């Protein structure tokens, strides 16, 4: 009887949560998905997150050995292929990349490092940019591919603009790999990863995403259901784990560019370019949802560029490693949070705006100073320019690994190297038979 009461309360809790993510609250299918996703998230959570941050720091240092250059041209690069950070070093500059696409699955670092996407599945080619049938998607469309059972590596047969009629529900064990073509998700709904795991998104342009009215949408081969109005996020990660987003270019979405909420964890966002947006990233949507304490997210080698205002990211609870990113623009602040998140900022470049009132990188919300001073926020090796100020707080040793090996002692690269590390952030121009 006690077990029934627990399940009943848990069901009510998730049904209430569904209202914010467009799910019919009478759909037991989603309750099952929620339970399954929660178990995967528990396995994805690392009780020793500093071991992950140190591993990434080591990889950065090794990638830069023998290369002291910090030079970065703002003009379009036309020289030989360069591998400027450890994720790109893993796969780029191989002229046969198109015949070895799944090599990409060996390359994530940070908290999303276990993500292999559709590596163990067949390749599916998107040839049709339409999105007309949401309940019975047409073979050849992106929507058809992302709902298939089991692992699938999804590529594209040509350049295209896909205007999603409603949000795209991506199931577990999928890779969306846009290398080789110019693929835009634009002028319609965005991507949703809900109660799923093991998803790679690579090489997409995602922009001008708008809220859609909802309706019946198929989310797997065996199920479709009614979803209410979508928020207008570019990428929404809800109750999901093992997610890697790499080399995407994003701007101008109605809500957030990337949101990760409701116990999502094991996420890496890397090598991406973000511009022209107000509230860029939200990691944890509610001050009352304590299960976000398992949230662990890495932001690495990204460029936060022109037209950005705030939330790069804005965090609740959880552990967030912000390493070797380039923050060249913000209007209000860069990194914010509430509910005592741990934020480790290492080797980033922060260029403050001219506004004297917006020089501070950090912002704490809904807490008095007496409280937020206990939150562990620290800056190491960051390059602070044009008067930028990072206000640290709390335990400055939290997140530092004890008992370091000789490899662990090799640190991240300081902020002066960031221009090189993020030189190729955003989508890449990959052509078959030539290095990316």
Catalytic residues: 311
Pair 370, 398: CB distance under 8 Å: no
Distance from C-alpha of 57 to C-alpha of 18, rounded to nearest angstrom:
38
Helix axes of 2-18 and 28-44: crossing angle, nearest 10 degrees: 100
Sheet containing strand 319-323, strands side by side: 122-126, 152-156, 174-177, 197-202, 241-246, 265-270, 296-300, 319-323, 342-346, 377-380
Give how far Cα 113 sits from Cα of 222, 244, 265, 297, Å: 30, 8, 11, 11
- Could you say which DSSP state residue 16 is in? H
**Which residue do the tokens 């949703």 mark?**
192
Where is 34: in which H helix or E strand? helix 28-44
Strands (E), 312-421: 314-316, 319-323, 326-327, 335-338, 342-346, 349-351, 362-364, 377-380, 383-385
For residues 279 and 314, is the Cβ–Cβ distance under 8 A? yes
Q: Rounded to 5 degrees, what are φ and ψ at 394?
A: 70, -160
Return the closest-CA partner of residue 407 out of 57, 63, 58. 58
Residues 205, 312, 297, 400, CA torsion sign: positive
**By C-alpha distance, which of 59, 176, 63, 37 is closest to 110?**
59
Let me know if 234 is exposed, middle or buried by CB neighbors in 10 A (0-12, 13-18, 19+): buried
């Amino acid at each position: 009887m006690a077990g029934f009461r627990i399940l009943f309360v848990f069901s009510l809790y998730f049904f209430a949560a569904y209202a914010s993510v467009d799910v019919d609250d009478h759909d037991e299918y989603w309750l099952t998905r929620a339970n399954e996703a929660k178990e995967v998230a528990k396995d994805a959570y690392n009780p020793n997150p500093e071991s992950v941050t140190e591993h990434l720091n080591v990889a950065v240092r090794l990638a830069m050995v023998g290369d002291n250059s910090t030079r970065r041209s703002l003009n379009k690069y036309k020289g030989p292929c360069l591998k400027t950070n450890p994720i790109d070093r893993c796969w780029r500059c191989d002229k046969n990349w198109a015949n070895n696409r799944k090599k990409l699955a060996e390359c994530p670092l940070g908290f999303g490092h276990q993500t292999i996407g559709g590596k163990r599945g067949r390749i599916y080619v998107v040839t049709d940019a339409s999105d007309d049938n949401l309940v019975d998607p047409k073979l050849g469309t992106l929507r058809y591919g992302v709902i298939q059972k089991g692992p699938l590596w999804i590529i594209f047969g040509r350049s295209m603009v896909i205007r999603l009629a409603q949000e795209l529900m991506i199931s577990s064990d999928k890779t969306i790999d846009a290398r080789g073509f110019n693929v835009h998700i634009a002028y319609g709904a965005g991507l949703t990863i809900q109660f799923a795991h093991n998803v790679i998104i690579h090489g997409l342009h995602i922009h001008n995403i708008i809220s859609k009215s909802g309706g019946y949408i198929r989310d797997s081969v065996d199920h479709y259901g009614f979803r209410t109005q979508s928020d207008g996020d570019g990428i929404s990660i809800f109750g999901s784990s093992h997610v890697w987003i790499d080399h995407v270019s994003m701007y101008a979405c109605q809500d957030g560019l990337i949101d990760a909420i409701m116990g999502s964890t094991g996420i890496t966002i890397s090598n991406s370019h973000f511009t022209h947006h107000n509230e860029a990233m939200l990691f944890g949507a509610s001050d009352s949802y304590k299960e976000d304490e398992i949230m662990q997210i890495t932001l690495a080698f990204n460029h936060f560029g022109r037209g950005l205002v705030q939330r790069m990211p804005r965090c609740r609870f959880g552990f967030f490693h912000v390493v070797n990113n380039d923050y060249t623009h913000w209007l209000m602040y860069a990194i914010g949070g509430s509910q005592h998140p741990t934020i480790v900022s290492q080797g980033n470049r922060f260029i403050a705006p001219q506004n004297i009132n917006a020089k501070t990188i950090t912002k704490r919300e809904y807490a008095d100073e007496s409280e937020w001073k206990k939150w562990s926020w620290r800056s190491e090796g960051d390059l602070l320019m044009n008067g930028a100020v990072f206000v640290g707080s709390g335990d400055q040793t939290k997140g530092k690994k004890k008992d370091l090996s000789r490899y662990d002692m090799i640190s991240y690269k300081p902020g002066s190297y960031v221009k090189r590390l993020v030189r190729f952030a955003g989508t890449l121009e990959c052509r078959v038979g030539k290095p990316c």
